Chain A
Amino acid sequence: MNNLKDFNLKVNLFGYELKNPVIPASGTFGFGYEFADVYDINCLGSISLKGTTLNERYGNPLPRVAECPVGMLNSIGLQNKGVDKVISEEIEKLKKVYDGKVIANVGGHSVDEYVEVVRRFNACDKVFAIELNISCPNVKGGGMAFGTNPSVAENLVKAVKAVSQKPIMVKLSPNVTSISEMAKAVEGAGADGISLINTLVGMRIDLATRKPILAVGSGGYSGRGVFPVALKMVNDVYKAVSVPVVGMGGITSAREAVEMMMAGATAVMVGTENLVNPYASQQIINDLPTVLDELNVKDINEIIGSVK
């Protein structure tokens, strides 16, 4: 293994320096501290916290996960304790085990809810950026409804930007006709960055009962199988906007992380693989120097958007 010190893995996101570009994705890493007894999570570039709403949410009825070939479906439905307890309890626990700053992922059912949650995170120093989740397929009357119509997304981003003291990164849904159009709309509304992709809407049916496996009928597909779809969309968005892009979708290895960065990602998020292999994010970070060495690259910033 190559020495991490011989390579520059640092990247800059909204003026905040990440020691490396690897960030566990929202919804696959709890509030971070859950992984602290698995490995020293201080190796992580940052962490995108579990989606947070104004009030406590239990989420959807069980079953809310299902196996797929090369991936999984989920319909969790934004289970969280509500923003106040997230700040006073969850982030306090995280502070004890993680030195870096993190990304708060904000969900909601209305413009007012998004705005209020973002406003309450203003006072939380541990959070250096907000990831605005307008792409969750698992909440009724919210989530993805904001992320599939450019003018609706635009209005939301403007409203949130008006109150936020932190950079706003908008997490886009792949369930749209033109991801570039969505990206341009949110950039035009003032978004400081864009992350993508959230999950692809999907379903599975139990043959014996002829009922969907997920209690709510359908959910979001993620994991290894979505990687080429995500890569193309990240590249499309990279070409369409000038704000930083954070790429995710099916990344399981350092090679795929590098590929995602070549497509245009300044940083990458690792999602479903954390649930399959709890050490995944750490292993990807440790393997990055080897991949960079093969490519004769000393500074990881050289590869961002370098696809020809």
Chain B
Amino acid sequence: MKNQILTVKDNKQISDDVFVMKFEKEENEYKAGQFVELKVDGFTLRRPFGVYDFEKGELSLLYKVVGQGTAKMATMKRGEKIDALTELGNGFNVDKAKKPLLIGGGLGAAPLYYLAKTFKEKGIKAEMLLGARTQSDLVFLNDFKNVADVKVATDDGTSGFKGNVVEALKHYDFDCDFYYACGSLAMLKRVASYSTNGEISMEARMACGFGACMGCSIMTTDGAKRVCKDGPVFYAKEIIFE
């Protein structure tokens, strides 16, 4: 963990309520699946965001405006500064897979972009299944297509396979040896009940983000664990979904 003042380089709106905030180059190292916590002016608690991209020292975060904090972020301009805790969490273990399958649900799939890039740099083109309610939720589809072999599933059939992620997994029958999943709790639970041969990135409301408050603890086969500090990435087989 580091405490840094980041400078906004770009804050690009990519759909009605989704933005990508990019920061000026910093001395950081990020593993895919790690996150940062931003201290938005006027709010007590920091907001956690998974690393969307990290390219030549420049960090990008993808976020949706869901409340007052993210609405304030959406107004931030190039050159503005923000207090951040960086390099948080454990990240995905990319050594587990020779033939990885990346499973993402909705905007929660954002961290899989940097994961797919990480595999690409290792010379592995990952297979990816992106699930969403409807086509318009897949705002970053074109970005993902540049770094992975992407299949799509939508609940309403407006793009790709019509059905949920698990039905799509059965339909596409991917040739993979390990999966990496990121998305809504409901989706992750379905994926874990289909197969436990993978890693899952969990999401939770957090207060501190570095293991002090126990605000984000989940139950695992090895007792309670903190999403922020012991995760956010866990083996699918160790998570006990409520």
Contact = CB atoms under 8 A, between A and B. Distances in A.
B212 A275 contact: yes
A66 B45 CA distance: 9
A50 interface: yes
Interface in A39-88: 50, 56, 58-59, 61-72, 74, 76, 79, 81
A38 B44 contact: no
B65 interface: no
Contact of B44 (A28, A50, A63, A71): A71
B218 interface: yes
A79 B44 contact: no
A65 B206 contact: yes
A205 interface: no
A38 B1 contact: yes
B42 to A, nearest CB: 9
A224 interface: yes
A278 interface: yes
A27 B217 CA distance: 13
B45 A79 contact: no
Given A37-B1, A67-B69, A278-B3, A27 B213 contact: yes
The interface size bin for chain A is 35 or more
A224 B215 CA distance: 19
A35 interface: yes
Given A61-B242, A62-B205, A279-B3, A74 B215 contact: yes
Given A65-B205, A278-B85, 14 more contacts: A28-B213, A30-B211, A38-B1, A62-B204, A62-B216, A62-B217, A69-B44, A70-B44, A76-B215, A79-B217, A275-B45, A275-B208, A275-B213, A276-B44
Interface of A: 27-30, 34-35, 37-38, 50, 56, 58-59, 61-72, 74, 76, 79, 81, 223-224, 272, 274-279
9 contacts: A37-B1, A56-B223, A58-B219, A65-B206, A66-B205, A68-B44, A223-B44, A274-B208, A278-B1
Interface of B: 1, 3, 39, 43-46, 69, 85, 204-208, 210-219, 223-224, 229, 242
